[in-house]
Amino acid sequence: MKAISMVSCPPATATSSTSGLSRRTFLKRTAMASAVTASVPWIHGCASRPMEAMPAQPDLSDDQRQLFLALAPVILHRSPEESEPVVDRMGLAIDSLGDLNRSQFDELLALLTFAPTRVAIAGVWPAWEDASQKDKEEFLEDWRSSSLGLLNAGYIGLTKLTAALHYGHPENFEHSGYPGLPVAVQSLPQFQESPV
């Protein structure tokens, strides 16, 4: 009779070779996602009113202002002083969005300015004004490269609105290589200054 040799299998590990995601990381991310998902209705209920009842808010709240004062310099690669005019125009820009987009943007800002959800979805522990440059850069990069479409959409919304407000202002045309309005367009009545 032939002896049956025992084949030893390598011990099971907590890390999958295909994903590189440890069991511990998977469980932590699942717990965070569950906490965020569970808190959204509560935050939405506390922080918003029905869409038709929402008044125009051309000014940002203090928390929203701190968020944009922290992120605008990172998004624009400019100094905080150069980015502050963009933040000053941000409330009016958000208010000029359509009802659905404004509502969604308000929800995004509520999530990013409420400490528990900021930590859970952005991974930023300190308040925005105290966050390091590295924290802010990692937050933006994580959302940009996330496999979750909602985080990608949040990144796009934050960065495109900030960039449009900066580069769309006549004093910043030169930063984007835009020479300004063509002469033919400048001569149209809507681009003429009206007498006061």
The verdict on residue 69 lying in a domain is yes
The verdict on residue 22 lying in a domain is no
Position 44 pLDDT exceeds 70? no
Residue-number span of the structural domain to which 166 is assigned = 62-173
pLDDT confidence band for 41 (50 / 70 / 90) = low
**Reduced to 3 states, what is the DSSP secondary structure of residue 15?**
strand
Position 24 pLDDT exceeds 50? yes
Average pLDDT for 167-190: 73
The verdict on residue 137 lying in a domain is yes
Average pLDDT for 171-185: 73
The verdict on residue 53 lying in a domain is no
Contact 71/80 with Cβ under 8 angstroms?
no
The verdict on residue 89 lying in a domain is yes
Q: How many domains does the chain have?
A: 1
The verdict on residue 135 lying in a domain is yes
Average pLDDT for 110-135: 93
Using only C-alpha atoms, the chain has a radius of gyration, in whole angstroms, of: 24
- Which tokens is 158 given? 């934050």
Sign, CA dihedral 122-128-132-134, equals positive
CA distances from 109 to 4, 20, 159, 162 (A): 65, 32, 13, 14
Q: With 0.75 as the threshold, say if the pTM is over it.
A: no
The verdict on residue 66 lying in a domain is yes
- Cα–Cα distance for residue pair 146/152, rounded to 1 Å: 6
